[in-house]
């Protein structure tokens, strides 16, 4: 009779799952273009070139991002700033900035390497094109405008979600010193126009304070 007990146990699993799916409790599928899921905060999406809140570009044309890129998809050329009318606060600025999105592996090493937090990543990943040339994002597309708005390659695309592009700043840096205990609660990046100020990332003392019996997803 053990077989029959196991058989009924199996039927209960599938039957119970069916009831929970119908009520929406256990349904894991989302109808993607219709409903977009909330992405994790450190999602690696399309890049954006940031500005300081006063409108100056953060990029100084140092080419460290191009050097660290494992896919060799970034091409940067720096140029001296016009002293009368500087583009960036430093000596130089990136006057050519191209990313080949067909090669990019979205590892965010460019974000780690950038000394001025000029390049960060957003939450947008819908970048398919019907043309290889459209996959090469130039400075015009990557650079945010002075109010913090990020240009979209295809603004008429029904998948173009401007809110996802607005998620950008230095806090996606995994090696930021804010991970160290002495920096807990201290903001370690400069703001940009648009997205403005982020709250400092919570440290780990809150996680440590939880009892180990609690279910910890990560």
Partner 1 sequence: MSWPEFGIIAFRVVVTFVLLLVVTVINVWAERKILADMQSRIGPSRAGPWGILQTVADGLKLFFKESVIPRKVELGMYLLAPFLAIIPAFLIFMMVPWGKPFMIGDHEVALQGADLNIGLLFILAMSSMAVYGVVLAGWSSGSKYPLLGAVRATAQAISYEAAMGLAMVAVVVFTATQGEGGTLSMAEIVERQTGTWGDISPVLSFVPRWNLFPQFVAFVIFLVAIVAETNRAPFDLVEAEQELVGGFHTEYSGMRFAMFFLAEYVNIFSMSAIAATLFLGGWAGPTFEGSLPGLISGSLPTIYFLIKTYAIVFIFFWLRATLPRLRYDQLMTLGWKRLIPAALTWLVISTVAIGFRQFGAPWS
Asked if 154 touches partner 1 (CB under 8 A), the answer is: no
Nearest-approach distance from CB 191 to partner 1, in angstroms: 41
Nearest-approach distance from CB 3 to partner 1, in angstroms: 10
Largest CA distance in the chain: 90
Q: Cβ(168)–Cβ(192) under 8 Å? A: yes
CA-closest candidate to residue 146, choices 59, 55, 58: 55
CA-closest candidate to residue 120, choices 67, 58, 162: 58
Q: Which of 1, 2, 14, 131 binds partner 1 (CB under 8 A)?
A: 14
Q: Which of 1, 2, 13, 206 binds partner 1 (CB under 8 A)?
A: 13
Nearest-approach distance from CB 204 to partner 1, in angstroms: 33
Asked if 10 touches partner 1 (CB under 8 A), the answer is: yes
Q: Which span (20-28, 49-57, 144-152, 159-167) binds partner 1, by CB under 8 A?
A: 20-28
Integer Cα distance of 145 and 51 in angstroms: 8
Contacts of 183 (CB under 8 A, 6+ apart): 177, 203
Nearest-approach distance from CB 30 to partner 1, in angstroms: 9
Alpha-carbon distances of 37 from 28, 30, 33, 52, rounded to whole Å:
11, 8, 10, 30
Q: Which of 1, 2, 28, 35 binds partner 1 (CB under 8 A)?
A: 28
Nearest-approach distance from CB 5 to partner 1, in angstroms: 14
Contacts of 70 (CB under 8 A, 6+ apart): 105, 107, 109
Asked if 26 touches partner 1 (CB under 8 A), the answer is: yes
Asked if 32 touches partner 1 (CB under 8 A), the answer is: no
Q: Contact residues for partner 1 (CB under 8 A)?
A: 7, 10-11, 13-15, 17-18, 20-22, 26-29, 31
């Amino acid at each position: 009779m053990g077989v029959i007990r196991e058989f009924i146990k199996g039927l209960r699993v599938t039957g119970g799952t069916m009831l929970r799916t119908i009520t929406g409790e256990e349904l894991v599928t989302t109808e993607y273009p219709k409903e977009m899921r909330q992405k994790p905060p450190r999602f690696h999406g399309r890049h954006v070139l940031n500005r300081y809140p006063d409108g100056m570009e953060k990029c100084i044309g140092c080419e460290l991002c191009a050097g660290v890129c494992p896919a060799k998809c970034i091409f940067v050329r720096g140029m001296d700033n016009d002293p009368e009318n500087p583009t960036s606060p430093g000596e130089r600025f990136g006057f050519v900035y191209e990313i080949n999105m067909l090669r990019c592996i979205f590892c965010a090493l460019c974000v780690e390497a950038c000394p001025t937090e000029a390049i960060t990543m957003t939450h947008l990943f819908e970048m398919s094109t019907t043309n290889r040339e459209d996959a090469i994002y130039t400075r015009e597309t990557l650079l945010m405008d002075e109010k913090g708005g990020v240009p979209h390659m295809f603004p008429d695309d029904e998948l173009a979600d401007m809110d996802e592009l607005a998620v950008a700043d230095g806090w996606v840096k995994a090696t930021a010193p804010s991970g160290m205990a002495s920096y807990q609660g201290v903001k370690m990046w400069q703001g940009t126009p648009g997205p403005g100020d982020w709250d400092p990332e919570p440290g780990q003392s809150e996680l440590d304070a939880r009892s180990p019996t609690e279910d910890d997803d990560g």
